[in-house]
Structure 1
Amino acid sequence: MTTTAIEIAPNSALLVIDVQKGFDEESFWGPRNNPAAEDNIAALMDAWQAAGRPVVLVRHASVQPGSVLAADHPGHAFKDLVEKRSEGALVVTKTVNSAFYGTPDLADWLTAQGIGQLVLVGIQTNMCVETTARMAGNLGYDVLVPLDATHTFDLAGPAGLALTADELATATAVNLQGGGFARVTTTADLLTA
């Protein structure tokens, strides 16, 4: 999707957003897209750690009654692929869509580390990944989103409107790159940058 070469900063931070076991509960979320998302996330985590670049794990602690992402639910835990790659990572816990409204404060941490480039991966493409990317773009970060290292679910809206997970992912790509919030790319492009 990109036409210019991507340069990865030596301290580019990989934000792994909400890759939690609760998102495996299809009966709660419905149909998902991109079954390769987890493999791509793992590949990027491995590459970031091998290069000594910072990794930030973001975890959603839902305050909605009955949520599979509530702090007291088994679904709150990171998926195994993230848990086994978590050593040395900063963990940010949030209750809303944006990782910039969490604990500890992400922007403060990024500033203290002198980090200006962020790569966002995780779940859901059109919710927490897109919201965090939009905020990061507004805050002046250079934001990269490898869309194939994210996934989402079919979603119903008002008055019978509904979009499939793939349609939502396409809309996110258009919103982020077309709106100037982020550059949308692929896992392969980042791994070879």
Structure 2
Amino acid sequence: MSEQPISRYPVPDVMELPEDMRDLILGVQEKAGFIPNVFLALAHRPDELRAFFNYHDAIMLREDSKLTKAEKEMIIVATSSDNNCLYCVVAHGALLRIYSKQPLLADQLATNHNKADITPRQKAMIDFALKVSNDAGSIGDADYENLKSHGFDEEDIWDIGAITAFFGLSNRMANLTSMRPNDQFYTMGR
């Protein structure tokens, strides 16, 4: 395991965090077998950590979303790569490999989604996510019509945009804090 710091900011002792955040982090540790560094790095400000994960769960665990877990992770990996976010590419690449059961897909999307083994529908989704990430001010009716021609509806389009926007924040915080990916993520799903 790496001896490198996981953040340029102080990381609090989990047992000294507010009870709800401590329980969240320990629950994740029990389920995953380790604590993803995002929890530890963002615990530097517990109120912001709480808000971050409340919004994360609202968009990523939304029960009536028609996007699959793998499609959500595809959006995250492609846009995180575009934002040069090592933490999110590595961590969400691991989740994508697990959910998609395609060990090459995360690396393909992180490098060039135009060459990735994805469907035309998924390419349209990623193209739109990258537009949200890089040029949201230019989104117009043609973008919605293109997505609808691939079977997405208005709520799906909201999901794509919300995931992209949220992880834009996450990418920037990970880069700001020099958040280091857990070593475990590199080999998961391979």
Q: Do Structure 1 and Structure 2 share a fold, with TM-score over 0.5?
A: no
Given the two structures, how large is their TM-score scaled by the length of structure 2? 0.31
Larger RCO, structure (CA 8 Å, separation 6 or more) = 2
